[in-house]
Structure 1
Amino acid sequence: MMRPRLALIPGEPAGIGPELLVHAAQRDWDAELVVHGDAATLQRAATALGLPLHLHHHGEPPRHPRSLAIVEYPHPVACAFGQPNPANTASLINAISHAARACIDGELAGLVTGPVHKAVINDGGITFTGTTDLLAEQAGCKVVMMLANPRMRVALQTVHLPLREVADRITPQALTHTLHTVATALRTQFGIAHPVIAVLGLNPHAGEDGHLGREELDIILPTLERLRAEGMHLVGPLPADTAFLPDKLRGFDAVLAMYHDQGLPVLKHADFANAVNITLGLPYPRVAVDHGTALELAGKGVADPSSLYAAIRTCTQLAARRAGA
């Protein structure tokens, strides 16, 4: 089987993304990586790290071993490490959008994205709530965020919301969509024929039979019962403080948390270095690193590339499974 061809976005040019890509270029992968970004930024990162970086234009044969193909989107301003410039916003967004379009059109098999700086992008005049929202809007679909590492998979019912708004977003319709999306992805992307999904309650002790909140009794439990009747394997609603115990986790293929900080601190504590962010529901595999731009580390040669390595491996596996389906 041919190696899948993946788009790779370094991310914010002043952050650690370019140097993480340079580290990735030193390895052999089971996928062909096609970088969408600025060659000068990448070469500057390679120089700072004292590592070789060989790039060739996408569509041309490589002239060096471990050479990466590049579709170039030049940044108009050369950034100093740790000092992002909003003038580079348009080229970064164009790189993401065109790479995703190539995935939608079948020219590329998946997308791996590095960290971007939301505030800088907005300062550059482009309204931006995140790469995931951009990709979902472009593809015309609703998506679900799932974080994963070798120990667990955690999907999110709500993502970047103030805590006081979370309960209003947990509706039967929204919960149904999320669970269908997660179950479908576990079957088609991860090869799990009969996935078991643990669903956390919203309130402490999963509401304590209504004494600590009624969302479990009025919304979550009836929705789970209806979906179980359709054949889905769902456990819960479970108290979040015990659902992640190792003995319980072994029985679940994924956990659905009701809000961001209910599930992700546990996952990141368990294995932050190898955690990745997977977007479920897109018409192609998309995997992102599970960390930010780390501007304070840029150019110092101390950034850990483990999450990028994990993202490349995960996207390769998802793309290969998709191709073999």
Structure 2
Amino acid sequence: MLRSVSALVLDELAVFEFGVLCEVFGLDRSDDDLPVLDWKVCGTAAGRPVTTTSGVHVVPQHGLDGLAGADLVAVAATGLSEYPPEALDALRAARDRGALLLSVCSGVFVLGAAGLLDGRRCTVHWKHADALRARHPEAVVEPDALYIDDGDLVTGAGTAAGIDACLHLVRRELGGAVANGIARRMVVPPQREGGQRQFVELPVPERGGDSLAPVLAWVVEHLDAGHTVAALARRAAMSERTFARRFVAETGTTPHRWISRQRVLHARTLLEETDLGMDAVAARCGFGTGALLRHHFRAALGVAPADYRATFRCDHDAGPGAA
């Protein structure tokens, strides 16, 4: 049963991610018959201001002793690359006594520095995934997820995904009614579909040379046409075997996968910028049918095309909730 939550804040604190922890765990919503948690904000010393990435200061009311006894210890995001040894000791002590651990975005690096990620599944903002793997090679980093629940360790990806992680933990520990009640007050969905892949930029793969550049450019301009290795090899004036080998060397993937990825990229643009129906989008991208579009789009981005459009459409009409 989750009754108490202590948040660890360090210098270069990310204010939004810290605010997520405050919003989910720190507010009194007893007027909605929601449980009130014992909430503490803890720094390396009580009353010592913590710098933030937004130019303001946060003053924790508790020192590291405020982490002791908490059912959940939440680590807020920080821009630091080195962390106070006493804070790492306090996190290890929390783990050893059986506390739940939660991180939002770069807070996972603090857990890693404390040695708490070895052999554990975790996630982080997709831009930091390679750095997390490099710094903590024993961690099992899953960059496509909005959050990872690994039992007593829950890690959330960047920014708003911290809301997903926090609400998931509330749902797990206090039940769906409590999580839904908090989400309703926050005016956010209790659960989101998909993962980080839908937010990741997918650039055209870098080419190691320019011998296939004209062919690749032509394919991008004619994605609605059917393409075979044999036809593309003829356009490049190469044998099929040479073309396939050169293609992998220059793009890092096979012709089929590269073309599918370009079609998904084009579909993303059409979904963001046009009113075309799914079958029309599929035809323009070369997928042929809406069903095939949905299959490849979900495989690449982890979300259905219609849901992607609802989230990323560039010209949403301003409704009653618009500012």
TM over 0.5: no
Tell me: higher relative CO, structure 1 or 2? Use CA pairs within 8 A at least 6 residues apart: 1
TM-score range, shorter chain: 0.3 to 0.5
Whose helix proportion is higher, 1 or 2?
Answer: 2
TM-score (norm 2): 0.33
Whose strand proportion is higher, 1 or 2?
Answer: 1
TM-score (norm 1): 0.32
